[in-house]
Structure 1
């Protein structure tokens, strides 16, 4: 299979812009839960406390506000969600109660918090606030005069200290979120007066600070948040209900309505001389107690007096709502399995998806590179899409061919709206993700999370993940899916990013050791040769492009990459599928291996061909060699089988030690010679 030219699709600038967009979108979702205008209908904590001076009012089915422990949720088989108010933290408990109260789904006034598990991260945020603002300045949160001493300068200094904390990179944006929540609740007077902070939010949450926080946020793994297993299940349940269960029924409705003589106006009602049971049966659809579509019948006596059909059926609005559910479902699958960014998804037209003579579906994608050219309209590329998506789009196209639903031809435009859509904007994408959030209950839905999810599943090769991936793509084997994905540059990019996020520390450590110190192992030899050949690709941001190209090469061969630290100075770098009849040493003798096999790093063996050894392992290997010689010196006390095994280990250790000595500074010296020759 021919590999795609990734340099044609991506540049350092475009990859950086993609990261910036992902960080901004993820961070904006986070900030929605810490500020904004509170609805007048919301009952504030201040009001509740004034009505209950003893603080004895419920915060859940199990606990009251004044309890020493809030039990918020208890589900069989899961850890209960609870918050403790310890006696030794009494000076902070009052503020802790008023701030964490608003993290409970029933009382949240910002954003849409729907899970009690959200309370746990807020507890961490509160502790960070106490550490940087109160404990550092020797202030008590129970003394209003101490709270009154807090100034904008103190808050900004706290944020600067958090930013400089290299051991806890998340503290910076976490502290920013909690300060923002505290000020927002104080300004709108929904917490008791003694806990309010009298500071204008713009002193902390201004353009300069927010830009800096987002930039810092981008450098943490917090920007890499794929959907959880439960969230993915909810998305798939919603999507497959509409595409597998509802879509065939709607096709029947469309064909039936298409054969009727509908009134030629914007509502396109159906008129009848009498109740039409066929119309009512076909246009009122309920599946698994979910309303898919319904029609509304009216009787107008005056129409009969005017010799017109008196029964009047409206259907179009309900049909449009059903079409938008189909659209949302396609958006989920395209986001998961095609991996495009929001801008590319917004430009897809219905006619951009088609089937070729080989019964394969393809999609025309307009891709955009970073450029200063105001006339740049993007470049169109063709990539494959799973058959199931293509077939569903064909059906969706047929549904939209009724009446005026084809509109301007955008795949993802609203079917309910009657506005002419001249250009698909990020606002339209946000409307779709808001609807998906509404119908699935999942927070923080955006296009970056979709493609991150499948990429994460591909590199974490559990049996469940592999079965789901094969089902989604409609392939018989995992290898076939990988080869298929290799033809899609957007998915290759996502997988490369997933590898960077999950294995970045280990991979960079391997690269640094090979480049600057010493190495041993087949994989290390290949990397060393690549560094010597093109050293500029193994530094800074160029390294990501190099990883992308390597991932593309593996995928086109139906392989995936695995890299993990096994012991000090020892790494497992494996690609390809592990066969049951050709197990690596770490898996030999193990029972119940299953179908999807990955190396067992807890049992890494130096004689394994996937083992990479670097300078840090040198002393341990020398000690191993000394130990094995000592054991072999007393062969009377060991069996022949044990002796053979020890000799194999001795040979493997000696080979690695010899290679470490031979390769010491080998790459560094080669690069210096290359510079001299240039």
Structure 2
């Protein structure tokens, strides 16, 4: 019996530590991917043959459009932003002589349509990059008593640039260090290639700025501060889902219509092409697919001229059809990454054979078979098989894509994320092969830093924050009517549990650690705080520095498996709302009593916190606030001639009483830390322990 218990305990510990390993591996991989994408912004992606900017300046004196509402010479460039977002602007308000002219020239090459360097996919990025000009003003020009006149710029040397870089490195942030390096490299390239007016150029060799040691130093500084746990913004998610739904909802029905034409072409001996002496307009029309003004598919027609016989026209369909299928493949990856929570190593080898349906039991539910690999390298480990619930929409999109992908093929393919442009039959796919899809999405969408780790974070962040617009998206993706149904879906999906648990643990790390540390070593008040303190006393090993993260992550995982949401918010200095309880109209906390939630799970409102609430945790830092509140409300109660309604007076008296109660508890628990005679919470007050493996005690 003891041996069995010990074995189970060791297994639990191994699982908990595997959660931490997976989380830390994700952070490391995401930091590396994010860093690589940021450094792409400093690489020149093409070299123009001439300067379009100089020609425009000479022909119009700068009064040419840079957007639909702004001209180059305007004091502010107003640029288009993503759908439903505010307009983006780049101001030119430099106080340095000649600064605005220089900033305009550099900013022109930061616009997506003119960019020489990688990473600029949207006007929002252009706006952010243009802000780096302020660093040039401060550290290169002003600090050296220079301006942006021709005489001033002639004095700009590689030595001054090095000094400025060192100064920013030592005195400023890593992002500004990178920003200054990036804009200086752009300025040097534009000067060297004569792409900006002569009087704005600087005479500095590129190898004096783009030095290997400097690049490594900048990369290390960025990596140390890079925020890795970042979900896609609402705007980013809008672009991703608009793309995904276009290629998965609108395109497939239209591609199905050309399948008979493909089969007809494929039935002759030439298979993928057709050679004729006269153009076949009817054939061309049958292959033309245009949706929302976007050409999705058409025949390629090549004319072959012959001297001794009639000219011929050769039609081919395979390349364009494969290109359309690859767009569907990219859309499918977006969908699967969002709804499964699976990692790159789990998504890459997916096959159509990994999707199954519960037809036997009549439910019709779809499941996705994935192979989960250990974080650590183990050549003898064959992986663990897990079955994840798959929303019907995602499953049916994958099946449709698979069917279309095998049209006109003699050998059938089954991999979901293999490129359709190649006929090679692969025996397996690796996570690195998904990089081609990510690259395609990066080129097609105005979304920065697209990589698979961020998909894992996005659904988790939506579930944590639960804002209505994104919850509507979840309902659409999962086919769920309520947030409760989504939580039940997650409870059945181990990969999503891990992804959401890690995200919640990361998001609440500082709050959880603050709460637990203060309760463990300082003063506290509140029923939840009492429960946490009891657990600390009963299982002190769970709250040691090295164990705490594992315990918290395990706790969050168990909440999610139980279908419970976790809510932790700072409400004021030293005060938190902490709950995993599912509220209904019969047990609403005071902050949301009387509100209509329209069928959704009610959530506390930390902006309307009440100190008499059973969910509040009050720590030592709140003492001054409590004492101030008592003085404020007591003056109102004691004010001579104050004619307060009876109900208002009772409410204020109840507030004051709750403040006094919390102060008394803070004094008692603070005294208990230094007094061995301190008595723990009385039996009447005890409300059960806060076990880190349960879901309803908080």
Change (3 A) 1:93 1:40: closer
Distance in 1 between residues matched to 2:185 and 2:502, nearest whole Å: 31
Tell me how far 1:416 sits from its aligned partner: 1.6
Q: Find the counterpart in structure 2 of residue 399 from structure 1.
A: 404
Match of 1:89 among 96, 113, 118: 96
1:653 aligns with 2:659: yes
State the partner residue of 1:158: 167
SS of 1:495's equivalent in the other structure is helix
**Could you tell me how far 1:446 is from its partner in structure 2?**
1.8
- The question of 1:455 aligning with 2:460 is answered yes
Distance across 2 between alignment mates of 1:403 and 1:581: 61
Match of 1:235 among 234, 240, 257: 240
Give matches, 1:360-439, under 5 Å: 360-373=365-378, 378-404=383-409, 409-421=414-426, 423-425=428-430, 428-439=433-444
| 8 Å CA contact retained: 2:165, 2:180 | no
Question: Deviation of residue 389 (structure 1)?
Answer: 1.2
Pairing of 1:23-422 with structure 2 (within 5 A): 23-41=31-49, 43=51, 45=53, 51=58, 58-72=65-79, 80-86=87-93, 88-90=95-97, 92-111=99-118, 113-136=120-143, 140-142=147-149, 143-148=152-157, 150-151=159-160, 153-162=162-171, 165=172, 170-186=175-191, 188-191=193-196, 192=198, 194-198=201-205, 200=207, 201-203=209-211, 206=214, 208-218=216-226, 220=227, 223-251=228-256, 254=259, 262-263=267-268, 267-268=271-272, 283-295=287-299, 314-356=316-358, 357-358=360-361, 359-373=364-378, 378-404=383-409, 409-421=414-426
Equivalent residues, number:
652
**Map of 1:574 onto structure 2:** 579
C-alpha displacement at 1:469, in angstroms? 0.8
SS at match of 2:466: coil
8 Å Cα contact 1:342/1:447 also seen in 2: yes
Q: Distance in 2 between matches of 1:76 and 1:211?
A: 33
Q: Which is further off, 530-539 or 209-218?
A: 530-539
Cα 1:67–1:270 shift into 2, 3 Å: closer
Partner of 1:612: helix, strand, or coil? strand
The match for 1:565 is 570
CA distances 1:617-656 after superposition (whole Å, capped 9, x unpaired): 1232234445556665679844332333233223322332
Q: Displacement, 1:333?
A: 0.2
> CA offsets, 1:565-609, max 9 Å, x none?
222211222335443454322223568989564433222110112
Report the alpha carbon displacement of residue 323 of structure 1 after superposing the two structures with TM.
2.3
Residue 185 of structure 1 and its aligned partner are, at CA, apart by 4.1
Helix, strand or coil at the partner of 1:365: strand
Whether contact under 8 Å (2:175, 2:222) holds in the other structure is: no
Q: Which 5+ residue runs of structure 2 have no aligned equivalent? A: 1-11, 677-698
Q: Is the 8 A contact 1:461 1:596 kept in 2?
A: no
* TM-score (normalised: structure 1): 0.81
Q: Is the 8 A contact 2:277 2:313 kept in 1?
A: yes
Normalised TM-score (structure 2): 0.79
Task: Provide the rounded CA distance (Å) in 1 between the counterparts of 2:397 and 2:204.
Answer: 54
- Contact map agreement 1:587 1:600 (CA 8 A) in 2: yes
The structural deviation recorded for 1:615 is 0.3
Asked if structure 1 preserves the Cα contact closer than 8 Å seen for 2:165 and 2:177, the reply is no
Please give the secondary structure, in 2, of the residue aligned with 1:579.
coil
Alpha carbons 1:262, 1:268 under 8 Å: kept: no
Deviates more, 1:81-90 or 1:625-634: 625-634
Relative distance call for 1:595 and 1:552 in structure 2 (3 A) is: same
Are the equivalent residues in 2 in contact too, given 1:34–1:184 (CA < 8 A)?
A: no
Secondary structure of 2:592's aligned partner = coil
Cα distance change on mapping 1:271 and 1:170 into 2, 3 Å: closer
Q: What corresponds to 2:7 in structure 1? A: none
Using the TM superposition, name which of 654-663 and 375-384 deviates more: 375-384
Q: Does residue 25 of structure 2 align to residue 17 of structure 1?
A: yes
Tell me the distance in 1 between the aligned counterparts of 2:278 and 2:195: 58
The change in CA–CA distance for 1:545 and 1:121 in structure 2 (over 3 A counts) is farther
Distance in 1 between residues matched to 2:352 and 2:188, nearest whole Å: 47
2:230–2:457 Cα contact (<8 Å) kept: yes
Q: Once the 2 structures are TM-superposed, how far is the Cα of residue 489 of structure 1 from its aligned partner?
A: 3.9
Once the 2 structures are TM-superposed, how far is the Cα of residue 614 of structure 1 from its aligned partner?
Answer: 0.7
Instruction: Map 1:521-670; keep pairs closer than 5 Å.
Output: 521-532=526-537, 544-588=549-593, 595=600, 597-625=602-630, 637-664=643-670
CA contact (8 A) 1:355 1:361 kept: yes
Measure, in 1, the Cα distance between the counterparts of 2:497 and 2:535. 20
**Residue aligned with 1:609, SS:** coil
**Structure-2 residue corresponding to 1:675:** none
Give the Cα separation in 2 of the matches to 1:246 and 1:5.
48
Structure-2 separation of matches of 1:398 and 1:653: 67
Helix, strand or coil at the partner of 2:578: strand
Q: Deviations over 1:445-488 (max 9, x none)?
A: 22122222222221121222222212211123211211212333
Structure 2: how far apart are the matches of 1:667 and 1:264? 89
Contact 2:122 2:447 in 1 (8 A): no
Greater mean deviation of Cα atoms: 189-198 or 648-657:
189-198
Q: CA deviation at 1:415?
A: 0.8
Question: 1: distance between equivalents of 2:598 and 2:553?
Answer: 31
Question: Which residue matches 1:673?
Answer: none
